[in-house]
Amino acid sequence: MTDSTSSPRVDGGTAPAAAAPSGQSGHVLRSSPLRRLLKSPTGLIALVILAGVVLMALLAPLLTSQDPNHADLTAVLLPPGGDHLLGTDSAGRDIWARLVFGSRLTLAAAAVAAVVAIAIGLPSGLVAGYYGGIFDGVANWSTNVLMSLPAIIVLLAVRAAVGPSVWISMVIFGVLLSPGYYRLTRTAVQSVRNELYVDAARVSGLSDGRIISRHVLSVVRAPIIIQTAIVAGLSITVASSLDFLGLGDPTVPTWGVMVSDGFKNIYRQPISLLWSSLAITLVIGGFVLLGNALRDSLEDLEKTKEKRAKPAGGRRARPVAVEVGTEHHLLKVTDLQVAYPQPRGGRKVVVDGVSFHVDRDEVVGIVGESGSGKSQTAFSILGLLPDNAILTRGAIQFDGAYTVAPGEDHVTQSRLAPLRGKRIGYIPQEPMSNLDPAFTIGAQLSRPMVTVMGLSKKAAKQRALQLLASVGIPDPNRTYHAYPHEVSGGMAQRVLIAGAISCEPDLIIADEPTTALDVTVQAEVLDVMRELQQRLKIGIIIVTHNFGVVADMCDRVLVMQDGSLVETGAVRQILHAPQHPYTRMLLSSMLEGKTPMTHLLADSTAGSDR
């Protein structure tokens, strides 16, 4: 289990991010969706385009003194210049005035269609996805009917029945678009309605309305935003297409009518077609870019690497330093600090000042409760941290070469890629979920040996069978040809151990290798790992919360709490004379040596006598 849920800590001090002085902007960045949107080049371009069109629509009377519908037959198809900034159309009307006033109706048409589609599709999708039942069936049938209707035919029929009204056309178009919102919302809600946090909200007494508004609605926020951007652009396209076909109101200036007029006179005055076409293209493109940029700003954590700043207050405890002249160690981690940027600014430190080393033919345990930062430390070594993780301090050295050099803020994958699998192996927790159900176990064991070691398929198969036998699997050939669902959890964990040593690594990192197994299988897996370590003389890091595993396997142990090392030493020393209160608390939580609850046993015996 990864330790990304460890307690939030602001790098460099004890004050929370929200309370940091404004002068420390390099350390605490007050971030908001709008601020992140403005930092995105795509978002900024989209905002500039759309803001310009909106301002043009609002300030239309101030931007031109011409009447957009005034026809002057003595000034037909004039080129740009003079009293007519962009020229005139075939009726002598000023193109700039029609372009400015036409932006009002264009934006309004997009807004009407989007609002109607959201008003119908979003609530119905939330209810159908959360409750299901009869409403879900009726809503699905209704959306299927709406989606089967050809939109352009329906709009043409509406126009013939009620006349050239852009408002009625856009309302009908919004109804036809609502199934898209419904299906999008319903699918997203169904994916989370049975999640544990939703169940916990129900247990805590929250009403369904509160759960939907606070826990479920946030899931569909980003998809709705991107869908709305697409709908807005599509609405402008459809409205302009109807006007282009001559089905709009000729007394109202719109960009579609301007495109139609320019197209009819393309050989007489080609430039008259440019302005309205360019405006439509820019606005549609602006909506699409804005939707993507705003979606990213809402859903993705800020990936910009913040500047390091001086501590906000207090003095940070000195890290446990690695002794000078220890380059001979197989692995050396020095003053490692890992942090994640937060949506509202600041950073959450999950590993803080961790230093240790691992030698060949040595087993080192990293122990601590969930959220202590032990798995994040292991993932830093493996280079498996998420993209938004920041190595704010420290260095990682493997066999005398840096994978993370001092001053770097990320794992250099080009340095680590040749090591991973070949020289550094990994045994994950949850064995069944780490094997691909679509491939046989043999295929998943053989492929890395073919790719990394350059073995032939036949040689890789023979080695895979030997590895399966070496980890205590009684029938290697049967297991080789089996799929993951055909073996037990203990067998799957043995397969992962075989895979970890298949390319003869120097170091193996085992992340909670026995957590998902029962006690008997745990003991067998530990026996396998111990035998392999002694036979192959490899270094092993075991990440665990179980001191029993540490006592059984490890030579040294590192105790972590809230992302920091609180105690290190030989296993015997830590078990018999722990110095830190947290270590003593962990040891006291073990069941070994505890007095049984005899009154419960007595009650059980008495009940059986009766």
Contact predicate 424/509, CB 8 Å: yes
* pTM of the complete model: 0.51
- Per-residue pLDDT, averaged over 505-533, amounts to 78
Return the amino acid letter for 176: L
Q: Which residue has the higher pLDDT, 20 or 286?
A: 286
The CA angle 204-208-214, to the nearest 5 degrees, is 80
Q: Domains of the chain by range and CATH?
A: 36-299 (1.10.3720.10), 347-438+491-610 (3.40.50.300)
Q: Average model confidence (pLDDT) for the chain?
A: 79
Q: Which pLDDT band holds residue 17 (cuts at 50, 70, 90)?
A: very low
In the chain, what are the helix, strand and coil shares in percent, each to the nearest 5? Answer: 55, 10, 35
**Least confident residue range of 2-6, 143-147, 505-509, 566-570:** 2-6
Give the pLDDT of residue 7: 38
- Between the alpha carbon of residue 196 and those of residues 130, 191, 193, 220, 272, the distances in Å are 14, 12, 9, 18, 60
Beta bridge partners of 427: 510
pLDDT per residue as tens digits for the range 233-257? 888 888 888 888 877 776 778 888 8
Give the pLDDT of residue 303: 42
Tell me the residue ranges of DSSP E strands in 401-478. Answer: 401-404, 424-427
- Per-residue pLDDT, averaged over 52-80, amounts to 87
Instruction: Work out the number of other CB atoms within 10 angstroms of the CB of residue 152.
Output: 13
Give the pLDDT of residue 29: 36
Tell me the H-state helices in 245-354: 255-264, 271-299
Q: What is the DSSP string of 55-101?
A: HHHHTHHHH--S-TT---TTSTTPPSBTTBTT-B-TTS-BHHHHHHH
pLDDT per residue as tens digits for the range 297-319? 765 543 433 333 333 343 444 44
Q: Which pLDDT band holds residue 4 (cuts at 50, 70, 90)?
A: very low
pLDDT per residue as tens digits for the range 374-416? 889 988 888 888 878 888 888 888 887 888 888 777 776 677 7
DSSP-derived secondary structure letter, 248: S
DSSP-derived secondary structure letter, 408: -
Report whether pLDDT(188) > 50.
yes
Beta bridge partners of 569: 557
pLDDT per residue as tens digits for the range 214-227? 778 877 877 888 78
Crossing angle for the helix pair 255-264 and 217-244, to the nearest 10 degrees: 40
Percent pLDDT > 70 in the chain is 82
List the one residue out of 424, 423, 421, 390 whose CA is nearest residue 407: 390
Phi, psi of 517 (to 5 degrees): -110, 155
Strand 507-511 with 539-544, pairing: parallel
Contact predicate 562/585, CB 8 Å: no
pLDDT per residue as tens digits for the range 258-278? 888 888 888 888 888 898 889
CA–CA separation, 260 and 243 (whole Å): 7
Give the pLDDT of residue 141: 93
Give the pLDDT of residue 19: 37
Number of H helices, E strands in the chain: 23, 10
**Least confident residue range of 92-96, 137-141, 427-431, 552-556:** 427-431
Q: Which pLDDT band holds residue 599 (cuts at 50, 70, 90)?
A: low
pLDDT per residue as tens digits for the range 453-492? 888 999 999 989 988 888 888 899 999 999 988 888 888 8
Q: Which pLDDT band holds residue 426 (cuts at 50, 70, 90)?
A: confident
pLDDT per residue as tens digits for the range 110-125? 889 889 999 999 999 9
CA–CA separation, 517 and 498 (whole Å): 17
CA–CA separation, 273 and 564 (whole Å): 67
Q: Which pLDDT band holds residue 205 (cuts at 50, 70, 90)?
A: low
CA–CA separation, 577 and 594 (whole Å): 19
pLDDT per residue as tens digits for the range 543-598? 988 888 888 888 999 999 988 999 999 998 988 888 999 888 888 876 555 555 45
- Per-residue pLDDT, averaged over 63-81, amounts to 86
CA–CA separation, 541 and 554 (whole Å): 9
- Per-residue pLDDT, averaged over 198-222, amounts to 73
Give the pLDDT of residue 516: 58
